[in-house]
Structure 1
Amino acid sequence: MSDDSPLIQSLRQAVEAAPADVPLRLHLAELLLDAGRQDTAVAEVAVALQHAPGDTQARELMMRAMAVPQRTTSSAPAPAAETPTSGQETARTPEERRGGFDWRAAEEQVGDVVPPRFVEAPLAADGRNDPGDAPAWDVEQPGTGEVGNGDGGGAGAVRLADVGGMREVKERLEAAFLAPLRNPELRRLYGKSLRGGLLLYGPPGCGKTFIARAVAGELGASFLSVSVNDVLDMWIGNSERNMHQVFETARRQAPCVVFLDELDALGAKRSRTLHNGMRNTVNQLLTELDGIDAGANEGVFVLAATNVPWDVDIALRRPGRLDRTLLVLPPDAPAREAILRYHLRDRPIVNVDLGRLAKVTDGLSGADLAHLCEAAAERALLDSARSGTVRLIGMKDLLAAAKDIVPSTDPWFASARNVAMFANEGGTYDDLVAYLKKKRKL
């Protein structure tokens, strides 16, 4: 204000430049209080308490500011303070009465000056008001490839044609899952229900999620991805409710592909699960897969992915649930070439032989190939920074990066080998056994 002293004006400018400087703001508040500017001083101390709620000096200064009577132009004596009744006194908490200072009254006085820091409603006893309880699930609409309510455009859904290579995987998907669902006349003739479940398994980083999206694109269906973080809840009964809401959303959005990521976490073997809440969640998942009523899951296609199918509860894999299994292996040569082309498309490259590069990267996962391109770009960037001359990424960089990368799939195959040898009851992992023999790892 214009009647502020030069010192107060200077302090105001300093506080504006450093709003989080609590000692400086308190010094300003003290000068304002000495100058009889009680309201302004209270506002400054309130801001200081926001930055440092436990600051002793700030609390003492607030008590001083609230205790000082405001200056008035009238010469009439200030009215005597009302003596609280016994009921009013008992309504005040010990913290409010501490030191003779009413913190509730102070909060009400500065409420219009300083907005509240937290506005969340308190949790109910059963956690119903938990912000994580939002009933809406992000569903990608068919033909858009984006999350929304179906009213937005987009570049189009992912199709199996967008999956590089993996011819055997595509043929298995077509024969076991897609062909019956694309032909409604044949489906009705043979009594095939418009529902199904498919379990994708294999080493990490090999494109299981991408394939699930491609299946949704082929079916022209919505896509709903669910992970363990979306379902599990600290409150008893909420995890089961979340699982039910997932499937209710899919039924409303049918045709819809529900993708259960990391199924070994969502549907772990109940015999190994000691926590009752987790066991109940698996039970709820089994109930939803069956459908409460006949035809309840019509148009709901359940795809699941896991790196460790041997840790999935056996009840999830019985006929009528996730009864079809597909092994997703590291990309073959055409797929590796397509992945490398994708990750190099926006980088400055010269004389890159993708065919040769695909040959020397046998056994690498899609994630490994992405890391290879990143490592090659880092080599060229560092060389350019050291020499002061920008150069393009060449085969030398890519081959050097490929030489340094150890396939991330090796530990998985080491574990899977034991399963293929000693736990292949009923031929569940025959595809894995055939691959290991082909690669001479068995």
Structure 2
Amino acid sequence: MSEDTGLIQSLRAALAGAPEDVTLRLHLAEMLLVAGQQDAAVSEVAVALQYAPGNAKARDLMARAMGAPGPAPHEASHEAPPAQERPAAGGSAGFDWRAAEGQVRDVVPPRFVEHEAPLAVDGSGDPGDADAWEVDAPGTVRLADVGGMQEVKDRLEAAFLAPMRNPELRKLYGKSLRGGLLLYGPPGCGKTFIARAVAGELGASFLSVSVNDVLDMWIGNSERNMHEIFATARRQAPCVVFLDELDALGGKRSRTQHSGMRNTVNQLLTELDGIDAQANEGVFVLAATNLPWDVDLALRRPGRLDRTLLVLPPDAPAREAILRYHLRDRPIENVDLGKLARATDGLSGADLAHVCESAAETALLDSARTGTVRMIGMKDLLGAVKAVVPSTEAWFSSARNVAMFANEGGTYDDLLAYLKKKRKL
């Protein structure tokens, strides 16, 4: 490792503890310019301008980084690595990239290390010209396609959908559209499907986000990915941003003091708040988790994910609809869906799909052995039901303790009522 490389790494480490030190950041930017790393220098100067917009030295460095020729061979300590291998700068907690972009827009088009976009015809070079995130067009799935679960639909209508469909009434009653909805419950019970149905009801695009989409090994890139996701949703508005497995994306920061995820949670909080009151207009945030007690409390503050909805195992009408869906293209005879739905109480949607798959497998193997094709019957399906252990039981075992002993403010009253009803306490 050369002396200059070691000094650059030392400066980055120092800035991680003092992100607002403009002098130190500009010194790092100068070192990066000498090393031939113009893109990294631009990123550092952009952050410095966010803290000190009028700093003459910062503006001079920005002009040099963008307009000046590269350093002479004897000035560079090593060849600059490819863009995808360079660590992104600016890993400060909750940093607002929109503010930095606005400060330097008159000087230079914003650049992004990992998702750098080519210059547009007008020379704007804005990364928004080429979306790096896949956004699904408005789908055809509606809440009517969700079998049963009428209580869930009613809660969605009252807390989320009715105010959005009726702007005049919303204005009359002073109802704010800020904030999002957190879906929680045991795995395999249709939280993602419900989120897509909400997007369909709103006629909105759908952007699904998991921890794999955000997490990056380089300091600062995870925060930048989080910002770019929300920037994409704002450009595609109306858009539903679905944060899957929120406990992984927004886990309690008290448990991640020495992890890059802490800064990622801070950035998520910044994006949910928006840079101003209108920033997230037309962006509807839904999140899902199996472990709501592991989600950072700041994410559930009013104005963020302030509405919570418990999604339980499907009720009888929902189970019948799910079974009908999974058996629709299979050869069946004399199947009583009502009886089958009653026999599958407590099973999740994923469990029901497994029941149909197992019954089909039994009939297939029997047909292969005998050489005669036969239909799937009730015997096959009921046999598969007996062999399936409800996957929700482990979740309810963990949730029971939370509902009984950590129900601050009545957060889990719905869960507690269900456990009492099902005699699971």
User: 1:136 is matched by which residue type in structure 2?
Assistant: A
Cα distance between partner residues in 1 of 2:83 and 2:166 = 52
Cα distance between partner residues in 1 of 2:252 and 2:116 = 26
1:63-122 CA-to-partner distances (Å, cap 9, x unmatched) read xxxxxxxxxxxxxxxxxxxxxxxxxxxxxxxxxxxxxxxxxxxxxxxxxxxxxxxxx967
Q: Give the C-alpha shift of residue 338 in structure 1.
A: 0.3
Corresponding position: 1:243 with 2:226:
yes
Match of 1:344 in 2: 327
1:347-400 CA-to-partner distances (Å, cap 9, x unmatched) read 000010000000000000000000000000000011111111111100000000
Match of 2:354 in 1: 371
Aligned pairs (5 A) from 1:304-319? 304-319=287-302
Match of 2:398 in 1: 415
1:380–1:321 distance in 2 versus 1, CA, 3 Å: same
Match of 2:86 in 1: 125
Corresponding position: 1:437 with 2:398:
no
The answer for unaligned runs of 5 or more in structure 2 is 1-80, 89-111, 118-129
Corresponding position: 1:280 with 2:263:
yes
1:142-164 CA-to-partner distances (Å, cap 9, x unmatched) read 2xx3xxxxxxxxxxx21000000
Corresponding position: 1:233 with 2:216:
yes
1:397 to 380, 393, 400: 380
Q: Which has the higher contact order (CA 8 A, sep 6+)?
A: 2
Cα distance between partner residues in 2 of 1:361 and 1:232 = 39
User: 1:165 is matched by which residue type in structure 2?
Assistant: G
Cα distance between partner residues in 2 of 1:274 and 1:185 = 45
User: 1:346 is matched by which residue type in structure 2?
Assistant: D
Q: Give the C-alpha shift of residue 195 in structure 1.
A: 3.5
The answer for unaligned runs of 5 or more in structure 1 is 1-119, 146-156
1:167-210 CA-to-partner distances (Å, cap 9, x unmatched) read 00001111111111110110111222334300000000000000
Aligned pairs (5 A) from 1:83-162? 123-126=84-87, 135-142=131-138, 145=139, 157-162=140-145
Aligned pairs (5 A) from 1:59-78? none
Q: Give the C-alpha shift of residue 129 in structure 1.
A: 6.1
* SS of aligned partner of 1:276: coil
Contact 1:195/1:299, CA 8 A, preserved across alignment: no
TM-score (norm 1): 0.68
1:254–1:412 distance in 2 versus 1, CA, 3 Å: same
Q: Which ranges of 4 or more aligned residues in structure 1 deviate by more than 2 Å?
A: 120-125, 127-135, 191-196
1:260–1:122 distance in 2 versus 1, CA, 3 Å: closer
Q: Give the C-alpha shift of residue 427 in structure 1.
A: 0.2
Contact 1:195/1:300, CA 8 A, preserved across alignment: no
Q: Give the C-alpha shift of residue 239 in structure 1.
A: 0.3
Of 133-142 and 310-319, deviating more is 133-142
Of 131-140 and 254-263, deviating more is 131-140
User: 1:239 is matched by which residue type in structure 2?
Assistant: S
Cα distance between partner residues in 1 of 2:163 and 2:222 = 34
Contact 1:380/1:391, CA 8 A, preserved across alignment: yes
1:189–1:137 distance in 2 versus 1, CA, 3 Å: same
Q: Give the C-alpha shift of residue 254 in structure 1.
A: 1.1
Identity %: 84
1:352–1:262 distance in 2 versus 1, CA, 3 Å: same
Match of 1:71 in 2: none
Match of 1:270 in 2: 253
Cα distance between partner residues in 1 of 2:277 and 2:238 = 17
User: 1:141 is matched by which residue type in structure 2?
Assistant: A
Q: Give the C-alpha shift of residue 140 in structure 1.
A: 1.2
Contact 1:216/1:223, CA 8 A, preserved across alignment: yes
Contact 1:164/1:338, CA 8 A, preserved across alignment: yes
Q: Give the C-alpha shift of residue 417 in structure 1.
A: 0.3
Aligned-residue RMSD, C-alpha: 1.8
Match of 2:278 in 1: 295
Instruction: Please identify the structure whose Cα radius of gyration is greater.
Output: 1
Of 183-192 and 230-239, deviating more is 183-192
Aligned pairs (5 A) from 1:343-362? 343-362=326-345
Aligned pairs (5 A) from 1:158-173? 158-173=141-156
Contact 1:193/1:298, CA 8 A, preserved across alignment: no
Cα distance between partner residues in 2 of 1:121 and 1:349 = 58
